[in-house]
Structure 1
Amino acid sequence: MKWNIGLPSCVLAALLLLASMPAGAGVVMNATRYVYQAGEREIAVKLTNKGTLPVLAQAWIDDGDARSTPEHVDVPFNLTPPISRVESGKSQTLRISFTEGTVPDDRESQFWLNVLEVPPKAESTGDANTIQLAFRYRLKLFYRPKGLKGSAAAAAENLSWGLSRDGILSVTNHSDYHVSLNELRLVSGSETMEAEPLSIAPHASLSPPLPKPLKAARVDVRYQSINDYGGFVPHSTTIDAR
């Protein structure tokens, strides 16, 4: 079998490749996010091919630029193997090791693990109206130094929320950890407003975009954070406009 790989377009979230068979994602990972604790020798990422055909899996890590290519990324990690063939029904383990690069030692750092799944190039059957997809997965990878204050589990619970009198919402993360929210809902009386999922870096503040300014004296903030294991944790608080 032949594959289309090593192309500059591997940085795209999904590649459209001409072929003669329908396509579907077959590779799954053993987690939705990964945490590298300082001092660990390495961490493992398990890829499993749930599809019916073998695939090539190309993997690399970037520091936040989704357009980065494997040849040009500069991160303090080594990942092996960068390219592997995964047979149908089989698994492949990727190993990530820290290379003592320069990262802050007083807060968590966020990187991204990319896995590009490239199916084999099928022989032509004369049907030019079908396509084959190469899927790119992009998962969060956190580097967690030793000696950080508090805990990742408590970081989301302790977010500080504010609401201005002109309806602008704000949130501050005072912790040393990244906080990811997959759901944010604001309730004031009979009105409910939903905001897009968001991530808040350590010791950072932001104003989540809202469909419209929320003019209210008091608002219930209900949100779900994502923990180290990919689980959803509900939280709620009440804030007064100032």
Structure 2
Amino acid sequence: MTKSTTVIALLFAFFHAQAMAALTLGSSRIIIQAPKTRAVVMVHNRSNDSSYLAQSWIEDAQGQKLERSPVVALPPIQRLEPMQGNQLNIQALPRVADLPLDRETLFYLNVREVPPRGEDKEVIQIALQRRIKVIYRPQRIRPLTVGLTSPWLSALTLSKEESGRFQLNNATPYHVTLIEAFSDESGTSPVTDFKPMEIPPYSAHRLEGKFSPGVQRPTLVYINDFGGRGQLSFDCRDGVCAVIKNSVRS
């Protein structure tokens, strides 16, 4: 077998393994809303005949594993029998009192599946890993949820730069996850080179992507508290764009 053929075979095996991952999570994000100190996510083993170990840990927003993390995943390792689901507890420790009180703090939950040891020594085993957001939300910024929209995001604004690109201004205490952009209010003219972004609280970031020249009603799609998609439509005047519609995107 040539070197190139070997590489292709390994890549095929990797992507095939991704599609056949045994462990799945019951949520795409976790929010701990103070004064609550715990949230729960289900971990499922979809394998019909094999047991797996689920190894879990928390990282900060930069992807660093903390020695004294204010948020932990319990149990850090557990065995899942075939077609079994168990709870994974995301626990806020007393040291969350040291986190900012005027904004959310972002963490990441990592869950790695450890496959059973096979008898064939020549088989390559790949330990796949899931990673989802964990947001700690202080009590003083408790939001009011209306349906599946995030009404506080209506406070976002866009600033149009001379280059024609837009800057998103997040003057809210919430993390904003953007996944799509459109050059029209109806959401039918996609910005094809738009890159999904995570906008921290009280920050401003340039949107990656070229909108249509002269666009007046840019639209952004965000992920809400429940993992669903919301849509923000803006109206631009004198280089500043304000939200005119915050709705659920089907």
**Under a length normalisation based on structure 2, what TM-score does the superposition of the two structures give?**
0.76
Q: Which runs of 4+ in 1 moved over 4 A?
A: 149-152
Question: How many percent identity over aligned positions?
Answer: 29
Aligned residues: CA RMSD: 2.6
Change (3 A) 1:201 1:180: same
Change (3 A) 1:235 1:191: closer
Matched, 1:123 2:119: yes
User: Comparing 133-142 with 93-102, which one deviates more in the overlay?
Assistant: 93-102
1:183-198 matches, within 5 Å, as 183-187=180-184, 193-194=191-192, 195-198=194-197
In 1: Cα distance, 2:142 partner to 2:34 partner: 14
1:26-175 matches, within 5 Å, as 26-52=22-48, 53-66=50-63, 68-69=64-65, 73-101=67-95, 102-124=98-120, 128=122, 130-148=123-141, 151=144, 153-175=150-172
In 2: Cα distance, 1:136 partner to 1:45 partner: 15
Q: Match for 1:115: what amino acid?
A: V
Higher helix share: 2
Q: Match for 1:61: what amino acid?
A: I
Secondary structure, aligned partner of 1:95: strand
In 1: Cα distance, 2:191 partner to 2:115 partner: 42
Structure 2: gaps spanning 5 or more residues: 1-9, 240-250
In 2: Cα distance, 1:44 partner to 1:218 partner: 43
Change (3 A) 1:120 1:149: closer
Give the drift of 1:80: 1.4
Look up the match of 1:200. Answer: 199
**Under a length normalisation based on structure 1, what TM-score does the superposition of the two structures give?**
0.79
When the two structures are aligned, how many residues end up with a matched partner? Answer: 214
In 1: Cα distance, 2:163 partner to 2:238 partner: 9
Structure 1: gaps spanning 5 or more residues: 1-15
Does the CA-based 8 Å contact 1:165-1:215 persist in structure 2? no
Q: Match for 1:86: what amino acid?
A: L
Change (3 A) 1:191 1:181: closer
Higher strand share: 1
Give the drift of 1:235: 2.1
Give the drift of 1:150: 5.2
Secondary structure, aligned partner of 1:155: helix
Match of 1:231 among 225, 228, 232: 228
Deviations 1:28-86 (A, max 9, x none): 111100000112142212101112311110000111233x45xx543202321101110
Secondary structure, aligned partner of 1:121: coil
In 1: Cα distance, 2:154 partner to 2:37 partner: 31
1:18-29 matches, within 5 Å, as 23=17, 24-29=20-25
Q: Match for 1:220: what amino acid?
A: R
More relative contact order, 1 or 2 (CA 8 Å, 6+ apart) = 1
